């Protein structure tokens, strides 16, 4: 499912504002790289971003994609999810939310939880420093993979 057009537009404006503030050229390639992450909720891998951008801009290099994704993450426009199945995934939704990640298919879904948002850090954590936010990744088997396994089992 894709975010609403106004949300995608807001994300793209934030990118252009950041480029202007940082003196980072908003090249067509960089804009397209960010657009590929900003217009989806599927949490794409860098290679998928590269392949999608390359369809529209055949001369884009993998290095440009990786550097741009790193710049976007460093500046808070995207988040990197944990490495699953060997590749990091990226999320342009930087609002407070959490992720459910399927250990079978690698799918990642956003969810909101007030209980997790209010998670009280245990003393072991607070001894290390001050917690500013909580971002939980719950790993398990998604409903589609469970259903697939059940169908296989029944055959």
| Tens digit of pLDDT at every position of the chain (155 positions) | 678 889 999 999 999 999 999 998 999 999 999 999 999 998 999 999 999 999 999 999 999 999 999 999 999 999 988 665 567 889 999 888 999 989 898 888 999 999 998 888 888 987 899 888 888 889 999 999 999 999 999 98
Angle between helices 46-56 and 62-74 (to 10 degrees): 120
Torsion of CA 108, 76, 37, 97, to 10 degrees: 30
Confidence at residue 64, expressed as pLDDT on a 0 to 100 scale: 95
Q: Which residue stretches of 3-131 are H helix? A: 5-22, 28-38, 46-56, 62-74, 114-117, 123-126
Domains and CATH numbers, the chain: 5-91 (1.10.10.10), 98-154 (3.30.1490)
pLDDT tens profile 43-61: 999 999 999 999 999 999 9
CB 86 within 8 A of CB 103: no
Exposure class string for 68-106: b at 16+ Cβ within 10 A, else e: bbebbbeeebbbebeebeeeebbbbbeeebbbebbeeeb
Is the full-model pTM beyond 0.75?
Answer: yes
């Amino acid at each position: 499912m894709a975010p609403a057009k106004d949300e995608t537009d807001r994300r793209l404006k934030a990118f252009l504002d950041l480029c202007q503030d940082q003196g980072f050229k908003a090249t067509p390639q960089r804009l397209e790289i960010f657009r590929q992450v900003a217009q989806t909720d599927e949490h794409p891998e860098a290679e998928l971003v590269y392949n999608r951008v390359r369809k529209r801009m055949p001369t884009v290099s993998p290095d440009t994609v990786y550097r741009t994704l790193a710049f976007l993450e460093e500046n808070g426009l995207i988040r990197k999810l944990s490495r699953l199945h060997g590749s990091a995934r990226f999320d342009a939704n930087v609002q407070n939310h959490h992720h459910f990640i399927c250990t079978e298919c690698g799918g990642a879904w956003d969810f909101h939880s007030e209980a997790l948002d209010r998670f009280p850090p245990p003393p072991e954590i607070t001894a290390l420093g001050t917690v500013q936010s909580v971002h939980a990744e719950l790993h398990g088997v998604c409903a589609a993979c469970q259903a697939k396994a059940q169908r296989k089992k029944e055959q």
